[in-house]
Structure 1
Amino acid sequence: MTEEVLEKYELVVGLEIHAQLQTKTKIFSSDSASFGAEPNRNTSIVSLGLPGTLPRINKTVVAYAVKMGMATHCTINRENRFDRKNYFYADLPKGYQITQDEAPICVNGNVRITLKDKSHRVIRINRIHMEEDAGKSMHDKDDQYSLIDLNRAGVPLIEIVSEPDIRSAEEAAAYFTEVRKLVRYLGICDGNMEEGSMRCDANISVRLKGESAFGQRCEVKNLNSVRNLQRAISYEFRRQVELIENGGVVEQNTLNFDAANGTTSVLRSKEMAFDYRYFPEPDLPPLHLAEEWIEALKSELPELPEQRIHRYIYELGLPEYDAYIITEEKSTSDYFEQLVKLTPHYKAAANWIIGPVQSDLNEGEKTSLLLKCSPCNWRRSLP
């Protein structure tokens, strides 16, 4: 497929990002939500879905969802409710998932991203909703059986659903990275993709440039790194263009991405798509969020990356590049905050962070030790 042919088409992508919330207990029970316990230890009759058990909402989950909505400029729905999403998986104990469908907690937000050429784009957010996670199936631990670990069943999630505003793999990576940065600054999710704390599904389609109608989309499930997100999008773009150019039709399939060879394959076809049969969750009343509670949560919001970048540039006089580098990781930015209390030489402090300190951090082992050290220990290195 030549670049000339690819240039005729426009990529259209929307992302669904699942962020696992850092609460002590699960969303509808008092079971521990901690990661790393022995299989099936963090369970009870509620998370196992036994008959007669009833869910009870974890208030911290609601607070975290509201804070994420505020950080992404969403409208917070004061009246929202839960629904049942009906499907069968072996690791879904109740045979349905409690989620939010028609009345999510947050709608109509946006995230501003910065690209490598320093240009900016705004990606709209359709909705943020709360839901419970499923358990985990393991198919490679035994030659004859699949094993089920239900520790994760009922762990709270928020799903951040973007509009189809993304037009390149680079934009997708920048958007995902910005969302991960926000949840870390808010302290609601650790953003650890390796442990499954954040997962991403990408809805991908193509259309001829200049057309307004969207093409038929395919959904690539459970992308577990920013690099694999970019690889999957790039592969799907070329695959769909080649299919159309050869007279074929893109079918609405759910796809799996094979990280080993960088290709996608059909997980479920359109004919096998689920009919989720959503209906209002009968065991949970609608949520009515009091205005004074919303205002109290707003007062708890930390300074977010975009606000820090603005302050570093316009109050501390840092170059835009320095401000973005320092705020990439909250721990680094927090360390810089301590550092500039000890010196008026802000640019020198930034140079030291971006140079020697960042070099040490890149070695890996020193990261937690270095950023927990008091800047007083490094004061003699500054002007």
Structure 2
Amino acid sequence: MLDHLQFTTPKVKTIAGATDDWELVIGMEIHAQVASKSKLFSGASTKFGNEPNSNVSFVDAAMPGMLPVINEFCVEQAVRTGLGLKADINLFSAFDRKNYFYPDLPQGYQISQLYHPIVGEGEVIVDMEPGVARLVRIERIHLEQDAGKSIHDMDPNMSFVDLNRTGVALMEIVSRPDIRGPEEAAAYVLKMRQILRYLGTCDGNMQNGNLRADVNVSVCRPGQYEKYQATQDFGHLGTRCEIKNMNSTRFIQMAIDYEARRQIAILEDGGEVDQETRLYDAAKNETRSMRSKEEAHDYRYFPCPDLLPLEIEQAWVDDIAKTLPELPDEKKARFVKDFALSEYDAGVLTAETENADYFENVVETGKDGKLSANWVINELFGRLKKDDKGIDTCPVTPAQLGGIVALITAGDISGKIAKDLFEIVYTEGGDPAALVEKRGMKQVTDMGAIEAAVDEVIAANPDQVEKAKANPKLAGWFVGQVMKASGGKANPAAVNKLIAEKLGL
């Protein structure tokens, strides 16, 4: 299915400005909010933008005597995500308490999965350039509840807590340290977001915090990464620092670059990098220390006494697998094969599932896949971007655009007329075929009429004829004059052919 891709070994990412070369090693923990209308352990709403502290149940607020009840749909979404990442689904999993104290965590602990996650090892293919990809291994996916939000900018003397996010279901997707540079890190996040959106398990809205990443960055000497690959000993990779809560791929790249340079400067001065958690300040383009990096024992994990282990049946997993959609890599490969598209064009069309669906609906009417792709990517997407619109608010339906493509394919309109027709449909609507008839836009294919127009232009421009015979490239001038005389309705291919014959080119 993915034979068109060339898989490459992760390449060394050197950091300029150091006295010696260093290699970058990156692992990521993506926190994806489960697409569910209710929380992981309560029936409270997950709707974004509601009044502060309005989406809070007694369980979320940690009121005495309130017990969590697992949301089966969230479990299903986690399994669905694991299947989409070709990961192992653990038929036995269990929840643990991660103990720490913070104002936006009313329980004093977070319910998570340390010892027995619901999803095991998987993989994701990250496209780096057309035909070239990286394979990033997934270590695990576990379910956990989100914390609330501390608000510090409403009053300089006070801090506030909004518990609306408390208890919202998260999938934490943990990668292996297989990412080797800032660009790869951004591409990995975007690919993960794309897969989650195709699966329908997370909306991927990074602005609302529904998809965010913790980025683990370390640097090591050339050759150390290969030793890690051979031994799986993390000691070869250098001390890592974790950059928390990144929700922008642009800032992820900037933060990684800054953090790598910071660590290299410390090491080159003879110092040691402290393992710690850091925050990225976008305004200053720097990372700053948040706290020392905790290990699992610092959180005093223990099995959650309020929740029984999850035991799921293989038949249930198999039923979920049957409902999986065609995923981005498979869809992209099919577009390349079935419609003779380039890797780039297929990638653009499959970036969002809505775009891919729109394109396929255009092809149903227009029939010509390659021409349909050109019109969707260049004309439609270009105009939507100019007007700051998305495919969901596009004024041109797939049937209308397909109709324009069909008219071009049939030879009823030229490319120039098609652009004029597209503008009419985009701004006024209407059936393309009916508009062509009503407004007299149909292409002139009568060879007699075209020949008469060609003869008239040649007769009126003898000097230009001599120039064109001396330099055949100038014959295009005659094509332009004939098209102008016909109001753009003459068949361009016929015009070109007749001019070449008449001029003896």
The TM tier, using the shorter chain, reads: over 0.9
- Give distance in 1, aligned partners of 2:57 and 2:285: 40
Q: CA deviation at 1:380?
A: 3.1
The match for 1:139 among 152, 168, 175 is 152
- Give distance in 1, aligned partners of 2:185 and 2:65: 44
The residue aligned with 2:178 is 165
Contact 1:332 1:371 in 2 (8 A): no
Q: Which moved more, 1:70-79 or 1:311-320?
A: 311-320
The one-character-per-residue Cα deviations of 1:132-175 (angstroms, maximum 9, x if unpaired) are 10011001111211011101101111000000011011110111
In the alignment, structure 2 segments of 5+ residues that lack a partner are 1-13, 228-235, 410-505
Q: CA deviation at 1:215?
A: 0.1
More strand per residue: 1
Contact 1:173 1:226 in 2 (8 A): yes
Q: CA deviation at 1:127?
A: 0.4
Q: Which moved more, 1:96-105 or 1:271-280?
A: 271-280
The residue aligned with 1:358 is 381
- Give distance in 1, aligned partners of 2:394 and 2:20: 45
**1:268 is paired with a residue of what secondary structure?**
strand
In structure 2, the CA distance between the partners of 1:134 and 1:19, relative to structure 1 (3 Å rule), is: same
Write out aligned runs for 1:204-243 (5 A).
204-211=217-224, 212=227, 213-243=236-266
Larger Rg: 2
**1:342 is paired with a residue of what secondary structure?**
helix
In the alignment, structure 1 segments of 5+ residues that lack a partner are none
- Give distance in 1, aligned partners of 2:144 and 2:65: 21
- Give distance in 2, aligned partners of 1:18 and 1:26: 15
The one-character-per-residue Cα deviations of 1:254-297 (angstroms, maximum 9, x if unpaired) are 10100012100100124899811111111111111111111110
Write out aligned runs for 1:229-378 (5 A).
229-270=252-293, 275-363=298-386, 365-371=388-394, 374-378=397-401
The match for 1:113 among 107, 126, 132 is 126
More helix per residue: 2
The aligned length equals: 383
- Give distance in 2, aligned partners of 1:44 and 1:370: 36
- Give distance in 1, aligned partners of 2:108 and 2:361: 50
The one-character-per-residue Cα deviations of 1:21-62 (angstroms, maximum 9, x if unpaired) are 121111100111111100001111111011111101111101
The residue aligned with 1:29 is 42
In structure 2, the CA distance between the partners of 1:364 and 1:31, relative to structure 1 (3 Å rule), is: farther
- Give distance in 2, aligned partners of 1:73 and 1:125: 9
**1:94 is paired with a residue of what secondary structure?**
coil
- Give distance in 2, aligned partners of 1:152 and 1:348: 46
The residue aligned with 2:198 is 185
Q: CA deviation at 1:224?
A: 1.5
Contact 1:335 1:371 in 2 (8 A): no
- Give distance in 1, aligned partners of 2:404 and 2:273: 59
The residue aligned with 1:156 is 169
The residue aligned with 1:13 is 26
Contact 2:365 2:403 in 1 (8 A): no
In structure 2, the CA distance between the partners of 1:380 and 1:272, relative to structure 1 (3 Å rule), is: closer
The residue aligned with 2:143 is 130
- Give distance in 2, aligned partners of 1:204 and 1:129: 22
The match for 2:64 among 43, 51, 58 is 51
Contact 2:366 2:403 in 1 (8 A): no
In structure 2, the CA distance between the partners of 1:271 and 1:375, relative to structure 1 (3 Å rule), is: closer
**1:188 is paired with a residue of what secondary structure?**
coil
The one-character-per-residue Cα deviations of 1:177-216 (angstroms, maximum 9, x if unpaired) are 0000011111121111111011110000000001231100
TM-score normalised to the size of structure 1?
A: 0.96
Q: CA deviation at 1:378?
A: 2.1
The one-character-per-residue Cα deviations of 1:66-111 (angstroms, maximum 9, x if unpaired) are 1110111110000111111010110001111111101001111110
Higher relative contact order (CA 8 A, sep 6+): 1
In structure 2, the CA distance between the partners of 1:196 and 1:101, relative to structure 1 (3 Å rule), is: same
Identity of aligned residues (%): 46
Q: CA deviation at 1:339?
A: 1.4
Q: CA deviation at 1:375?
A: 1.0
Q: CA deviation at 1:243?
A: 1.2
Q: CA deviation at 1:341?
A: 1.5
Contact 2:40 2:145 in 1 (8 A): yes
The residue aligned with 2:210 is 197
Contact 2:199 2:324 in 1 (8 A): yes
Contact 1:257 1:263 in 2 (8 A): yes
- Give distance in 1, aligned partners of 2:331 and 2:403: 26
Q: CA deviation at 1:8?
A: 1.2
- Give distance in 2, aligned partners of 1:141 and 1:99: 31
The residue aligned with 2:476 is none
- Give distance in 2, aligned partners of 1:335 and 1:193: 24
Q: CA deviation at 1:337?
A: 2.0
Letter in 2 for 1:114: D
- In the alignment, structure 1 residue 103 sits paired with structure 2 residue 124: no
